[in-house]
């Protein structure tokens, strides 16, 4: 046992860094505080420009169309259309503890929302109608947006 | 004053832990200078392109030292998987402005320096982390799988159709001695491979690759002075962007920024229809769906008809427009920060007539194209090269 190890595929010598660099980000929320407070209560907020009526999701504190800062939060409707989806089988390190999950993109009231689809992959079809809600995954503190197909 | 390419170099691609990361960079640099037209003293500036994957967070200076280019100035350019083209764009403008005569662009990624789950995480974080990766665990195969699902639904394409892209690109990878996978695959092997992000399967994906590529971008005067025997000219670089986030997309069957970049490049080069004009193209096939989208975004086929090009074998040599004769990202490999430069290296080889047996396109008009996408279109570059 020395400091040199060997790559499992090529057998070539490698040095495994014994020092692990732990990275954790702290994201300042600013006006997004309101979005996350609502999400904890099960509501999903978008933003609406009071000047020109432009709707946005995810929320933003100014309007990219007219640059107005006169913005209000509004609650997204709870029924939308599933545009597309994929079942993630090989997961990133930070999601490796979960069983395979389906990520979908849903169009609702002119904006698009990303979330997890609760269904079997085989049963899904683009353009089908879904119910949009918020829930916590077993063992998770973080609320997530979920889509459930409406029969 | 035209801007052209004085010299090229590329390392062997693969799981390259037979060399350390610095020697991997040197493999390309060595080829550049061994071509015999340019020497380190001729270089005015170095643009380094990489997304990271190294323990050093500012690698440009360290590589520049190792490959022996001090005191020439250097900086890094980053645009995810399009970093290489972004670096070439920067170098082109340095030369075009007259600030430099010869700029070396060096691209490098040694992705196997990270263990696979970390590499998957690293790649995913080239996307929109805050809204999409953190809470929903989307990956890069996942991003493109969303396009594949929608494309199959709208146009009736099948998983088999996309596997045909893998079969083609492995066919040419088998003829490229620098490719990561120098072996052919069958439709059955592709179809039987496991899902990575359904409907994308293992054989629909480009691999995790170690590799480097380098190119010298020079002024016309310099190219003449250096006596470059077969100069290749950069006729056009079209570029564009679009929202990185899924929520900002208007289409899941096209990368609109690629369409815009192509339009600009064709206009700059005076090309109306690329079919019959472009002799050979490299397109960003990080996943097989991405190659089909590229056919359409580049105007090789109408929307929904890109899949017919691969079904009919029109992107092989002898077809309407040969694509990815180096094996593409799929079989040659995809060291993300080096890919855009590797594409240029390939087109230069093709236009010079230096590609290996069985993968050299017939060069009739002397025109080649590169299509390099970062993320899912937040960075897009289309270049036209001419002999
Ligand atoms: Zn507005």
Q: DSSP character for B13?
A: P
pLDDT number for residue B288:
98
Q: Is residue A7 part of a domain?
A: no
Q: What is the DSSP string of B318-385?
A: TSSS-B-TT-HHHHT---GGGHHHHHHHHHHHHHHT-SPTT-PPP-SS-EEEEEEEETTTTEEEEEEE
Q: Could you tell me if A83 and A117 lie in one domain?
A: yes
For residue B257, report the distance from its CA to the centre of ligand 1, in Å: 24
Mean pLDDT of chain B: 96
CA distance B129 to B383: 29
Q: What is the pLDDT of residue B62?
A: 92
Question: What pLDDT score does B56 carry?
Answer: 87
CA proximity to A58, closest of A83, A86, A29: A29
Predicted confidence (pLDDT) per residue in B252-310, tens digit: 999 999 999 999 999 999 999 999 999 999 999 999 999 999 999 999 999 999 999 99
Percent of chain A with pLDDT over 70: 99
Contact A147/B at CB under 8 A? no
Whether residue A3 lies inside any domain: the answer is no
| pLDDT of the residue at A137 | 86
| Residues A134, A85 within the same domain | yes
Across A71-82, average pLDDT = 97
If DSSP codes are grouped into helix, strand and coil, which group holds residue A47? strand
- Say how many domains are in chain A: 2
Crossing angle of the two packed helices B159-173 and B288-297, in degrees rounded to 10: 90
Same domain, residue pair A85 and A59: no
A99 and A144, same domain (yes or no):
yes
Assembly ipTM: 0.95
Domain end residue (candidates: A48, A75, A102): A75
Catalytic residue among B163, B205, B286, B334: B334
Clarify whether residues A68 and A101 are in a common domain. no
d(CA B168, CA B191): 14
Asked whether residue A103 falls in the same domain as residue A60, the answer is no
Strands (E), chain B: 3-10, 45-49, 73-77, 102-110, 195-198, 200-201, 210-219, 232-240, 280-282, 367-374, 379-386
User: Across the interface, which of A14, A27, A112 has its CB nearest the CB of B130?
Assistant: A27
Using an 8 Å CB-CB cutoff, list chain B residues near A85.
Answer: 146, 149
End-to-end CA distance of chain B: give it in Å, rounded. Answer: 16
d(CA B230, nearest CA chain A) in Å = 38
Which SS3 state, helix, strand or coil, does residue A106 take? strand
| Final residue before a domain boundary, out of A46, A75, A104 | A75
Do A84 and A67 sit in the same domain of this protein? no
Q: Model confidence over B43-99: pLDDT tens digits?
A: 999 999 999 888 888 999 999 999 899 999 999 999 999 999 999 999 999 999 999
Inter-chain residue contact A103 with B247, CB threshold 8 Å: no
Residue-number span of the structural domain to which A97 is assigned: 77-151
- Interface residue A125 vs chain B (CB under 8 A): yes
Q: Encode pLDDT of B338-386 as tens digits.
A: 999 999 999 999 999 999 999 999 999 999 999 999 999 999 999 999 9
Tell me, yes or no, whether A1 lies in a domain: no
Query: Are residues A86 and A135 both part of a single domain?
Result: yes
Supply the pLDDT for residue B116: 84
Is any Cβ of chain B less than 8 angstroms from the Cβ of A135? no
Claim to verify: residue A151 and residue A99 sit in the same structural domain: yes
Q: Is residue A131 part of a domain?
A: yes
List the CATH number of the domain containing A134: 2.40.50
Q: Which of A10, A93, A113 sits opposite B247 (nearest CB)?
A: A113
Does the residue A10 lie in any domain? no
* Domains, chain B, ordered by start: 3-114+208-226 (3.40.47.10)
Q: How far is CA A141 from CA A40, A144, B15, B114, B134, in A?
A: 10, 10, 39, 29, 13
Q: Domain for residue A65, yes or no? A: yes
Q: Does residue A94 lie in a domain region?
A: yes
Instruction: Report the alpha-carbon distance of residue B86 to residue B372 in Å, rounded.
Output: 9
A117 in a structural domain = yes
Q: Smallest Cβ distance to B15: which of A10, A93, A94?
A: A10
Among A54, A75, A96, which residue terminates a domain? A75
Nearest to B24 by CA among B217, B216, B207, B213: B213
| pLDDT tens per residue across span B161-209 | 999 999 999 999 999 999 999 999 999 999 999 999 999 999 999 999 9
Check if the beta carbon of residue B156 is closer than 8 Å to that of residue B150.
no
CB atoms within 10 A of CB B305: 14
A146 and A95 within one domain: yes
| Contact (CB, 8 A) for A66 and A51 | yes
Asked if residue A1 has pLDDT above 80, the reply is no
Q: Is A3 on the interface with B (CB under 8 A)?
A: no
> Are A69 and A119 in a shared domain?
no
Contacts of B147 in chain A (CB under 8 A): 84
* Other Cβ atoms closer than 10 A to A149: 16
Res B207: pLDDT:
96
A27 C-alpha to ligand 1 centroid (Å): 26
Alpha carbons A18 and A8: distance in angstroms, whole number: 18
Q: In this prediction, what percent of chain B has a pLDDT beyond 90? A: 93
With beta carbons under 8 A apart, name residues in chain B contacting A103: 136-138, 142, 146
On whether both A50 and A93 belong to a single domain, the answer is no
**CA separation for the pair A126, B152 (Å, rounded):** 10
What single DSSP character describes residue A99?
P
User: Would you call A126 and B248 a contact, using CB atoms and an 8 Å cutoff?
Assistant: no
């Amino acid at each position: 046992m020395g400091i040199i190890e060997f790559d499992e595929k090529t057998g070539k010598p490698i040095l495994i860094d014994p020092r692990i660099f732990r990275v954790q980000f702290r994201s300042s929320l600013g006006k997004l505080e309101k979005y996350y407070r609502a999400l904890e209560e099960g509501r999903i907020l978008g933003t609406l420009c009071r000047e020109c009526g432009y709707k946005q999701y995810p929320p933003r504190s100014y309007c990219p169309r007219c640059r107005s800062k006169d913005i209000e939060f509004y609650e997204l409707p709870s029924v939308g259309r599933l545009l597309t989806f994929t079942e993630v089988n090989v997961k990133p390190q930070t999601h490796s503890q979960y069983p395979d999950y389906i990520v979908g993109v849903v169009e609702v009231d002119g904006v698009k929302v990303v979330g997890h689809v609760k269904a079997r992959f085989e049963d899904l079809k683009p353009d089908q109608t879904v119910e949009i809600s918020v829930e916590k995954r077993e063992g998770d503190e973080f609320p997530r947006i979920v889509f459930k197909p409406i029969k | 004053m035209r801007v052209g390419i004085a010299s090229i170099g590329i390392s062997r691609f693969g799981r390259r832990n037979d060399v350390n990361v610095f020697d991997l960079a040197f493999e390309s640099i060595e080829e550049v200078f061994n071509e015999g037209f340019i020497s380190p003293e001729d270089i005015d500036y170095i643009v380094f392109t990489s997304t990271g994957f190294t323990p050093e967070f500012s690698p440009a200076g360290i590589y520049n030292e190792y490959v022996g280019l001090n005191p020439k100035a250097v900086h890094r350019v980053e645009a995810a998987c399009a970093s290489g083209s972004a670096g070439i764009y920067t170098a082109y403008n340095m030369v075009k402005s007259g600030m430099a005569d010869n700029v070396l662009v060096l691209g490098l990624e040694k992705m196997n320096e990270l263990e696979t789950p970390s590499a998957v995480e690293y790649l995913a974080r080239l996307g929109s982390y805050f809204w999409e990766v953190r809470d929903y665990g989307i990956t890069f195969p996942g991003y493109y799988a969303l396009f594949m699902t929608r494309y199959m639904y709208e146009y009736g394409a099948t998983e088999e159709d996309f596997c045909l892209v893998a079969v083609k690109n492995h066919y040419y990878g088998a003829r490229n001695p620098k490719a990561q996978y120098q072996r052919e695959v069958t439709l059955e092997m592709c179809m039987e491979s496991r899902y990575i992000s359904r409907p994308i399967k293992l054989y629909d994906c480009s691999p995790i690759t170690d590799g480097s590529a380098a190119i010298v971008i020079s002024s016309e005067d310099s190219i003449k002075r250096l006596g470059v025997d077969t100069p290749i000219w950069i006729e056009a670089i079209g570029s564009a962007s679009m929202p990185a986030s899924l929520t900002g997309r208007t289409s899941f069957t096209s990368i609109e920024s690629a369409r815009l970049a192509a339009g600009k490049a064709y206009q700059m080069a005076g090309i109306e229809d690329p079919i019959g004009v472009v002799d050979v193209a490299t397109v960003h096939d990080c996943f097989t769906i991405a190659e089909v989208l590229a056919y359409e975004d580049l105007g090789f086929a109408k929307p929904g008809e890109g899949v017919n090009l691969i079904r009919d074998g029109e992107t092989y040599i002898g077809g309407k427009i040969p694509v990815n004769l180096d094996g593409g990202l799929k079989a040659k490999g995809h060291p993300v920060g080096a890919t855009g430069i590797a594409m240029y290296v390939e087109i230069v080889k093709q236009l010079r007539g230096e590609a290996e047996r069985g993968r050299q396109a017939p060069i009739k008009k002397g025109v080649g194209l590169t299509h390099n996408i970062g993320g899912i279109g937040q960075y897009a570059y289309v270049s036209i090269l001419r002999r």
